[in-house]
């Protein structure tokens, strides 16, 4: 089957904020995260998106936790899943902390949250030019491909600015993040609007938070995009039923195959995304 018939499924396993009290299946320790990554890979995910948590269960950019988790994932039998690390941190992390792990673990992908906004009701999601330009340059230096996280339409123009400056390379890989209070609502109309803003030859993925997860998944497939699922974004499988990461991956696999396509294997995802390793 040709690569244009393959859909990359990313499993966003943990996130930085959602407490285990909300869903006991959220993995917090390196061992739990690595095991979920392995099970999601076996279920059909080509990419895992990693956040770390500290001993209190709060988001952390501790590079040793990233290293241990990634080593545990790579030590699983046959596991060749693509590693995608966050750079978003939380309000406690400095700009330096948010990119320190990139040199240390050299992931194939890392998030590049392309702008700032009021993430209600928690505070400002701070991605200033003083952070984004050094981050883009660091990723380019290390050969880490940016996953361009787009929370609102203006973020597309910010990406264009950094492409023109040579800070990041084109074609890019875009991740449309819909449904965060303070960003774009998770509607099919908004997804279509962002899709029409994509530069030529871009690759892209999308997801909707909460109950809009399924409409955005189906619309993304219809528009030719890739999928992200996981407990970072949705703690429920359906109304009143708590999810696991594997359950969400398995449903995405079924949706992709029913649509007449196939989930991409990790090396197919590497080819689609133009990863250097």
Residue 167 pLDDT: 98
Higher pLDDT among residues 205 and 210, named by residue: 205
Q: What is the mean pLDDT of the chain?
A: 96
Q: How confident is the model at residue 83 (pLDDT cuts 50, 70, 90)?
A: very high
What average pLDDT does this structure show over 144-170? 98
| pLDDT value, residue 228 | 98
pLDDT digits (tens, 9 = 90+) for 66-82: 999 999 999 999 999 99
pLDDT of residue 271: 97
C-alpha torsion sign, points 4, 77, 24, 54: negative
Q: How far, in Å, CA of 157 to CA of 150, rounded?
A: 10
Percent of the chain with pLDDT over 70: 99
How much of the chain exceeds pLDDT 90, in percent?
A: 94
CB 231 within 8 A of CB 13: yes
Mean pLDDT, residues 148-172: 98
Q: Sorting pLDDT into bands at 50, 70 and 90, what band is 1?
A: low
Note the pLDDT of residue 277. Answer: 60
Confidence of residue 185 (pLDDT cuts 50, 70, 90): very high
Strand partners, 194: none
What confidence category does residue 90 fall into, taking pLDDT thresholds of 50, 70 and 90?
confident
* pLDDT at residue number 234: 96
Confidence of residue 17 (pLDDT cuts 50, 70, 90): confident
Q: 93 pLDDT exceeds 90?
A: no
Query: 124: pLDDT confidence band, cut at 50, 70 and 90?
Result: very high
Long-range CB contact pairs, 62-69, < 8 A, 24+? 63/100, 63/101, 63/104, 63/105, 65/30, 66/101, 66/104, 66/105, 67/101, 67/104, 67/105, 68/30, 69/30, 69/33, 69/34, 69/37
pLDDT at 125: 94
Per-residue pLDDT averaged across 214-232, rounded?
98
Least confident of 5-9, 82-86, 92-96, 111-115: 92-96
Residue 186 preceded by cis peptide, ω within 30: no
- In this prediction the pTM is 0.97
Q: What is the pLDDT of residue 92?
A: 77
Residue 143 CB burial class (10 angstroms; 0-12, 13-18, ≥19): exposed
Please name each of the domains of the chain with its CATH number. 3-273 (3.20.20.70)
Mean pLDDT confidence for 169-182: 97
Among 68-72, 190-194, 241-245, 273-277, name the one with the lowest average pLDDT. 273-277
């Amino acid at each position: 089957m040709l690569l244009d018939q393959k859909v990359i499924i990313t499993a966003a396993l943990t996130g930085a904020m959602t407490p285990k009290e909300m869903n006991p299946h959220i993995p917090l320790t390196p061992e739990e995260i690595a095991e979920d990554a392995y099970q999601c890979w076996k279920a059909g995910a080509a990419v895992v998106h990693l956040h770390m948590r500290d001993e209190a269960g709060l988001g952390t950019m501790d590079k040793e936790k990233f290293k241990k988790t990634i080593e545990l994932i790579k030590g699983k039998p046959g596991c060749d899943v693509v590693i995608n690390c966050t750079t978003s941190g939380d309000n406690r992390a400095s700009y330096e902390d948010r990119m320190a792990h990139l040199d240390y673990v050299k992931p194939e992908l890392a998030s590049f949250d392309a702008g700032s906004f009021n993430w209600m009701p928690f505070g400002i999601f701070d991605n200033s030019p003083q952070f984004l330009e050094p981050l883009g340059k660091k990723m380019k230096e290390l050969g880490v491909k940016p996953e361009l996280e787009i929370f609102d339409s203006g973020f597309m123009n910010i990406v264009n600015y950094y492409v023109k400056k040579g800070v990041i390379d084109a074609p890019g890989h875009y991740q449309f993040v819909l449904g965060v209070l303070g960003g774009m609502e998770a509607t099919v109309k908004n997804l279509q609007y962002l899709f029409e803003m994509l530069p030529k030859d871009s690759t892209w993925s999308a997801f909707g938070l909460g109950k809009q997860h399924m409409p955005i998944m189906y619309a993304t497939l219809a528009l030719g995009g890739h999928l992200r699922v996981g407990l970072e974004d949705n703690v429920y499988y359906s109304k009143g039923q708590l999810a696991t990461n594997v359950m969400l991956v398995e449903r995405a696999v079924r949706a992709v195959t029913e649509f007449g396509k196939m989930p991409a294997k990790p090396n197919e995802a590497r080819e689609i995304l133009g990863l250097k390793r």
